[in-house]
Amino acid sequence: MNDPQMEAARRHLAARVAAVTPPDGLEAAVMAEFDRAHRRRPTRILAMCAALAASLLVGAILLRPTPKPAAPSVESQAFYTIPYTAPLEPYERVMVVQEQVPVTELIAAGFHFPATDPTGTMRADVMVSQDGRPRAIRPVAFDVSDRSSQ
């Protein structure tokens, strides 16, 4: 655009174009879109917060420490080896059965049992070895019940 005539035409054309105004309502439409976009924002934020809270709740439920079942007090009790029996080998498989054991049999096996009623029974876990013989015993209920009551 080195030609003076062309330069003058360029200036004139640029001035004419600069004088053209955009159609009415353009700014209003753009600002309305801005308002619409920003009105939606609180709803979106609320939705996001709700989703976050829900996921945190689910996570807390899933990851909460599960309460361990209270160990029965009897398990803290040790087995008592039945006197005059061979000790168990570490590799030996055993079975524990719970049954009512007559107090007389406990006394006969060599236990010192201060029971007032020798005809009663005691509920106990009995450890039975592979050969089917009882090797140890663990009292479950310390109450000595009468055989006649069962």
By the criterion CB under 8 A, which residues form the site for another protein? 1-3, 5-6, 8-10, 12-14, 16-20, 22-23, 26-27, 29-31, 33-35, 37-38, 41
Task: Give the nearer residue to another protein in terms of CB position, either 18 or 60.
Answer: 18
Task: Give the nearer residue to another protein in terms of CB position, either 3 or 89.
Answer: 3
Minimum Å distance from CB 54 to another protein? 26
Question: Residue 8: phi, psi to the nearest 5?
Answer: -65, -40
Minimum Å distance from CB 46 to another protein? 16
Positions of E strands within the chain: 80-81, 95-102, 121-128, 134-139
Q: Report helix, strand or coil for 81.
A: strand
Task: Give the nearer residue to another protein in terms of CB position, either 13 or 52.
Answer: 13
Question: Which H or E run includes 13?
Answer: helix 4-19
Minimum Å distance from CB 47 to another protein? 17
Cβ atoms of 123 and 98 within 8 Å: the answer is: yes
